[in-house]
Structure 1
């Protein structure tokens, strides 16, 4: 396993020892195969040498590289597989979205919610959870009034993912996803003119909107097919750990863990989705706001896990900055995960120091 100068590294060489940046972060993990992109990044970070897998034959023999036609074929196959997987997830997403919208529009006070049908559709969607990327996935919102349904479906997926990341028991995973899906079910009983009002609400209207938490609990409390955590998530997802939330102003351990998980998912999607009265906010700026709210408002452990996990695999992600320049994430500072380093035309933009800039949009992974 020779250590070679960067000038001697060849395309196709395999790195067998993690490459670290001067700040101690991992730039490339072992197993990474050198391509022109990797060489560019190594040069940008002024890496002098790397440890590579011993080459077969003479030392100066060119590394074996897959022929261009084979590379192209393999790339097309991988892209096709990815597209099929995405279409499958999107199809299940659309089915659950349509069901939730139908339930909301057709619900009549006194009738029961079709919980079994909702659960079945939700389970079908969650089979594709490995294909879901919290930061990158955005639904196609054709009608501004559809926001509340998209928020619910995406909150279900994100709540499930966050529960997995926080090592919740298997028996809790589906109920937590159900809690995310039904957290705003109380909006069924809110005046639709108020729900879709495009201008600012009066204080009286704000107070009425806040009642959706109580309405949601009332709708779910007598449903035997869901557990108490799901019902309490509908009631408590706007409560804060310092007691400053609503509707009851409970704090700390009095807030159910399901509600604490759903609160994070709800805030994230409420701010990153298109609303009738504003454009979506950068997911990275939203993460920063969620992080600031971990000091007294949201559960700090769940918040830290959320931020660490959603930003964990960003190396190589193509993004658009707030000044419209497009580049590629090449490094994430472990202490400032929402402000990675971005390579733009071979120039590194360090968002930890250039605070006036931020990532506006994720273009591709």
Structure 2
């Protein structure tokens, strides 16, 4: 069947060949039934022709408009499923709350007693058994308060570190240990003056040095803990090191930094920036992803960062969002070259956030 000019294509037409963007991304896959808005997307990407099912030897759909009204088979179905599963009455939230209470109790007791590592491991394994329901950009704890920030950061960093270790192709034996690295990376904060951790004003040089000691305190607290490997201890010590040697406490470079610490660094920064603090509002997860991408040039491991961004934004076509100007919109296409700035439909129009740089996604609604 010859290609048809996009201006002549009707809603309900079925695509016979993948539609590729000028930058090489797949816009629509073979077999998709085009909806009216899909025609706008084709034009927005300057696609001139598509190959569609027609009368010459191809079977037409018996009722094109009826076919167009049905959801096209796509990854959007998994989005709806994730949205349902992420609601606050899910088993994931139940186990998250148990993990939160346990890590909070552990923080209070670790300075005076041994860490309940086997209890922590048991609850972490239960929590991770619900990992399929955990969407990094969409999950929100049931309750948040300023005093519990460190504990939320610990549990979220554990879940995210586990997923990053999976996504990056590390051996399965490292996944749980990377999660432990996320869970315990800031445990040294128990030996830091709490007023410094909550201080809204800028810290002076002496206070900064004291806060930075949480890395060495953490390593010391974990040094004799069984059931974790040395990588977990090094994650506590090294998660603020940078690949260019500008981090702390030891100014390590590149391969001198344990890969658990590199994984935890990404998870920690993401959750630190997207959680609400007493002195700072939570940032848009999409803006934080962009910041991580910037940090990957000389600061963070670029492979880990790029994998994290690619995977967290992978299945979000169909997701409803709120833009930075307050308008509600829907993600309709994510270009792999600009994963944090997809095309969205807002008030009946298609907006390409890669071009409209003054706008960004503020919040994922569902």
Q: Distance in 1 between matches of 2:262 and 2:60?
A: 58
Paired residues of 1:141 and 1:147 also in contact (CA < 8 A): no
Q: Distance in 1 between matches of 2:82 and 2:239?
A: 37
Superposed, 1:105-254 pairs within 5 Å as 105=108, 107=109, 109-254=111-256
Please point out which of 99, 104, 109 is paired with 2:102: 99
Superposed, 1:254-293 pairs within 5 Å as 254-293=256-295
Structure 2, unaligned runs of 5 or more = 70-78
User: In the alignment, what sits opposite 2:75?
Assistant: none
Say if 1:59 and 1:23 are closer, same or farther in 2 by CA, change over 3 A. same
Which segment drifts farther, 341-350 or 124-133?
A: 341-350
Number of residue equivalences: 358
Say if 1:282 and 1:316 are closer, same or farther in 2 by CA, change over 3 A. same
Q: Distance in 1 between matches of 2:106 and 2:323?
A: 39
User: In the alignment, what sits opposite 1:296?
Assistant: 298
Say if 1:81 and 1:141 are closer, same or farther in 2 by CA, change over 3 A. closer
Quote how far apart the aligned CAs of 1:100 are. Answer: 1.0
Say if 1:100 and 1:9 are closer, same or farther in 2 by CA, change over 3 A. same
Q: Distance in 2 between matches of 1:183 and 1:253?
A: 19
User: In the alignment, what sits opposite 2:354?
Assistant: 352
4+ residue runs of structure 1 moved beyond 3 angstroms?
A: 1-11, 13-17, 21-24, 30-61, 63-66, 78-86
Quote how far apart the aligned CAs of 1:187 are. Answer: 1.2
Quote how far apart the aligned CAs of 1:84 are. Answer: 5.5
Paired residues of 2:154 and 2:184 also in contact (CA < 8 A): yes
What's the CA shift string for 1:290-345, capped at 9, x where partnerless?
11111111111111111122122222222222111221222333332222222212
What's the CA shift string for 1:182-228, capped at 9, x where partnerless?
10111122222222233332222211111111111111110121000
What's the CA shift string for 1:79-118, capped at 9, x where partnerless?
799636750111111111111112223x153410011111
User: In the alignment, what sits opposite 2:84?
Assistant: 83
Paired residues of 1:141 and 1:274 also in contact (CA < 8 A): no
User: In the alignment, what sits opposite 2:73?
Assistant: none
- CA RMSD, 1 decimal: 3.2
Structure 1, unaligned runs of 5 or more = 69-77
Q: Distance in 2 between matches of 1:81 and 1:327?
A: 18
SS of the equivalent of 2:135 reads: coil
Q: Distance in 1 between matches of 2:31 and 2:96?
A: 35
Q: Distance in 1 between matches of 2:130 and 2:192?
A: 32
User: In the alignment, what sits opposite 2:26?
Assistant: 26
User: In the alignment, what sits opposite 2:330?
Assistant: 328
Say if 1:80 and 1:271 are closer, same or farther in 2 by CA, change over 3 A. closer
User: In the alignment, what sits opposite 1:75?
Assistant: none
SS of the equivalent of 1:338 reads: coil
